[in-house]
């Protein structure tokens, strides 16, 4: 078994396990915020860069950046459906919203990195204002024993599928499907079933804040892959994303303190 295949099988599941443990420790909002960090799409883009080349990966990163809009459609679709329906129908409607957004993105295909960044930033600014308002959740989610294993297995499966079919899909669709809501699906299902719609919406709002770091990662990666080596480009992208992730967390803490005063 090659070293690349071993990394595909174990790197993303290990990262997912760490995020799962952190979410269980600090609650659904933090789980959503952390899950938006590029713990799945980042490694997928790295494997694509190794196997398909830096130019292919740079174009894929542009597709992944645009796919943030599809994730927002998934989250908003689930949130509004959850106010009236149980998890099976809510998930179906969320996937319908995600699929419609993917089709629209495939037709649009942003001509430049900076246009995509501008549109995604506008979407992230607007999205929190579109979520339904529900009272704070009264109970904390339970911890199903198969939760973590399911997340890890789905993460490994997505990495294998996207990287295997990358050449056939092309860079744009490879980048979009690298953003498939693996973590989002498992998080909303277990949260909705165990803690209700309000906790689920809180989690999805946390994801929106985390997507600022994710978008930063994609922008820096697509920009630097054309001028730097793969390793340096990914280091720069991860450093920039970590800085934005930290700043977003500090902003959220100060915002909560100000509103509670």
* Residue 128 pLDDT > 50: yes
What is the dihedral sign for C-alpha 202, 91, 155, 39? negative
Cβ neighbours around 12 below 10 Å, total: 28
Structural domain span for residue 251: 3-260
Mind listing the pLDDT tens digit for each residue in 149-173?
Answer: 776 777 677 677 777 776 677 888 7
Residue percentage of the chain with pLDDT more than 90: 29
Whole-angstrom distance, CA of residue 211 vs CA of residue 102 = 17
Tokens representing 144?
């199903």
Whole-angstrom distance, CA of residue 55 vs CA of residue 248 = 30
SS3 call for 242? helix
What is the number of structural domains in the chain? 1
> In this structure, what is the dihedral angle of CA atoms 37, 43, 45, 46, given to the nearest 10 degrees?
130
Q: What angle do CA 108, 100, 181 make, to 5 degrees?
A: 105
* Residue 255 pLDDT > 70: no
Residue percentage of the chain with pLDDT more than 70: 80
Whole-angstrom distance, CA of residue 99 vs CA of residue 94 = 9
1 pLDDT tier (thresholds 50, 70, 90):
very low
* Residue 14 pLDDT > 50: yes
- Nearest CA to 35 out of 255, 209, 198 is that of 209
In this predicted structure, which of 67-76, 159-168, 242-251 has the lowest mean pLDDT? Answer: 159-168
* Residue 205 pLDDT > 90: no
Return left, alpha or beta for 35; rule: phi > 0 is left, psi -120 to 50 is alpha, else beta. alpha
Q: How many helices (H) and strands (E) does the chain have?
A: 12, 0
Q: pLDDT value at position 4?
A: 62
Stronger pLDDT, 136 or 23, i.e. the higher one: 23
Please state the pTM of the whole predicted model. 0.81
Stronger pLDDT, 47 or 239, i.e. the higher one: 239
Return left, alpha or beta for 3; rule: phi > 0 is left, psi -120 to 50 is alpha, else beta. alpha
Q: pLDDT value at position 182?
A: 76
Mind listing the pLDDT tens digit for each residue in 85-125?
Answer: 998 899 999 999 999 998 998 888 777 888 999 999 999 99
pLDDT (average), residues 79-88 = 91
- Nearest CA to 152 out of 50, 20, 4, 60 is that of 20
């Amino acid at each position: 078994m090659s070293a690349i295949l071993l990394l595909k099988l174990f790197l993303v599941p290990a990262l997912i396990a760490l995020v799962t443990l952190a979410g269980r420790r600090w609650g659904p909002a933090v789980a959503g915020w952390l899950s938006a960090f590029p713990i799945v799409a980042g490694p997928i883009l790295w494997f694509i860069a190794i196997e398909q080349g830096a130019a292919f990966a740079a174009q894929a990163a542009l597709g992944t950046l645009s796919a943030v809009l599809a994730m927002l459609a998934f989250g908003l679709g689930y949130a509004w459906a959850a106010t009236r329906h149980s998890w099976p129908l809510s998930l179906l409607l969320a996937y319908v919203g995600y699929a419609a957004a993917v089709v629209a993105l495939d037709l649009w295909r942003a001509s430049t990195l900076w246009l995509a960044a501008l549109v995604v930033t506008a979407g992230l600014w607007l999205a929190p204002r579109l979520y339904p308002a529900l009272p704070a959740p009264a109970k904390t989610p339970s911890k199903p024993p198969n939760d973590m294993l399911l997340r890890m297995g789905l993460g490994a499966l997505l990495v294998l599928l996207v990287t295997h079919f990358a050449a056939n899909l092309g860079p744009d669709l490879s980048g979009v499907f690298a953003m498939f809501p693996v973590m989002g699906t498992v998080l909303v299902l277990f949260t909705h079933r165990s803690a209700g719609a309000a906790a689920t919406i809180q989690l999805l709002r946390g994801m929106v804040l985390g997507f600022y770091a994710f978008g930063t990662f994609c922008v820096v990666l697509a920009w630097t892959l054309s001028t730097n080596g793969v390793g340096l480009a990914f280091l720069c992208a991860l450093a920039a994303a970590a800085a934005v992730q930290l700043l977003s967390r500090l902003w959220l803490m100060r915002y909560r303190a100000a509103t509670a005063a």
